[in-house]
């Protein structure tokens, strides 16, 4: 299995990230303005396990339409599993939230491949496929987290206090 993982400290609450994700259709383009075109929940609200998502992005100069299904949705984790054709390479996106006093650590984890014996045999082929995409995905993940931090911290600073 091949994994790209980054984390960032955000002075906000985990609930703020969950609310942010529920409104992802409105904020998606702000996360990577030069790459993100559109994001859409294909199922009716509320966002939950089983919800299908669709995003349109530019990756290495090529237009991509990517579908995922939410397979885990909690205050600690949101996990999206890639649907065909992404499922052929075992694509999975995880947002993991660690709660701390006054802040959260948000992880964005991209996984490719399969966690099995046969999957491990497939890893060398996957590495060849991802070779020119790896550095793009690595920097894209960092940019996305940085922009999520900026959005959530600005929202936290500008929200009314009681």
Kindly list the strands in the beta sheet with 62-73, ordered across the sheet, starting from the edge strand earlier in the chain: 2-10, 103-112, 92-100, 77-82, 62-73, 52-59, 36-41
Please state the domain extents for the chain: 2-155
Residue 102: beta bridge partners?
none
CATH of domain 2-155: 3.30.530.20
For the chain, list the strands marked E by DSSP. Answer: 2-10, 36-41, 52-59, 62-73, 77-82, 92-100, 103-112
> pLDDT in tens for each of the 162 residues of the chain?
888 999 999 999 999 999 999 999 998 999 988 889 999 999 988 899 999 999 999 988 889 999 999 999 999 999 999 998 788 788 899 999 999 999 999 999 999 888 777 777 777 777 777 788 888 999 999 999 999 999 999 876 655 544
What pTM value is reported for the model? 0.88
């Amino acid at each position: 299995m091949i994994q790209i993982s980054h984390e960032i400290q955000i002075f906000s609450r985990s609930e703020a990230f969950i609310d942010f994700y529920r409104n992802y259709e409105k904020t998606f383009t702000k996360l990577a303005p030069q790459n993100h075109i559109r994001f859409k929940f294909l199922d009716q609200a509320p966002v939950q396990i089983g919800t299908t998502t669709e995003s349109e992005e530019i990756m290495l100069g090529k237009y991509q339409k990517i579908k995922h299904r939410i397979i885990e949705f909690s205050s600690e984790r949101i996990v999206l599993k890639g649907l065909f054709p992404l499922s052929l390479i075992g694509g999975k996106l995880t947002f993991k939230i660690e709660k701390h006093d006054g802040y959260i650590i948000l992880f964005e984890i991209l996984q490719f491949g399969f966690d099995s014996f046969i999957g491990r045999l497939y890893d060398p082929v996957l590495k060849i496929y991802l070779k020119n995409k790896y550095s793009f995905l690595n920097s894209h993940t960092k940019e996305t987290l940085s922009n999520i931090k900026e959005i959530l911290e600005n929202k936290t600073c500008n929200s009314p206090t009681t």
